[in-house]
Amino acid sequence: MREEQDELAARHREDLQQLEASHAQEASTTRAADQEAADRRTAAAQDVFPDAVCVSLTDDGNFLTAIYSDHSFYVWDIKDTANVGKHRSALAHAGSVWDVEVLPRPPSLVDGAAAPSLPAGCFATCSADSTVRLWSIDSSRSKPPQLRGGGRALT
């Protein structure tokens, strides 16, 4: 009987050692996963995104143009709010961009004469670099439309 008790005690010690080893391994895995998650949070916290300076929405509500503090603009396609995506982007100016305005389509006739017309989806930006620039939401256009004013082209 004593031998049976000793054998049972020995098996019990082995089981406890296996449980302790298993627990130690789980704890180590958990600590590693926690550390990995903390590292991801730290990396994400270090990401720097520019501030949005101003935004403008097209008349049809399909595109949102956002100007950012790094002098860039993004035209966001927001037709399907469940699937918002970047439509176009560019570095807009050499200086800080102050404003963006979607330009309305002027009537085609002014005092009975044909008026110059901007394509749909044009917008203007103004900047600390002393420029006003015209842009087209249509990303297939290689250049924005040019307007004549004051004896020189405005682009």
Number of domains comprising the chain = 2
43/89 same-domain check: no
40/19 same-domain check: yes
22/69 same-domain check: no
140/74 same-domain check: yes
Q: Does residue 151 surpass a pLDDT of 50?
A: no
Find the mean pLDDT for residues 95-119. Answer: 71
76/149 same-domain check: yes
14/42 same-domain check: yes
Which residues have a Cβ under 8 Å from the Cβ of 68 and sit 6 or more positions away? 50, 51, 52, 53, 74, 97
Give pLDDT tens digits for 20-50.
767 667 766 777 777 787 777 766 666 677 8
Q: Note the pLDDT of residue 77.
A: 92
- CA of 113: how far to CAs of 72, 103, 106, 116, in Å? 38, 21, 13, 10
User: Does the global pTM surpass 0.85?
Assistant: no
95/34 same-domain check: no
**Containing domain of residue 121, as a range?**
52-154
57/15 same-domain check: no
Rounded Cα distance between 30 and 12, Å, is 27
95/144 same-domain check: yes
43/62 same-domain check: no
11/56 same-domain check: no
User: Residue 131 is which amino acid?
Assistant: T
Q: In a 3-state reduction of DSSP, which class is residue 97?
A: strand
Q: Which residue has the tokens 């009975």?
A: 112
Q: In a 3-state reduction of DSSP, which class is residue 109?
A: strand
DSSP character string of 11-71: HHHHHHHHHHHHHHHHHHHHHHHHHHHHHHHHHHHH---PPEEEEEE-TTSSEEEEEETTS
56/127 same-domain check: yes
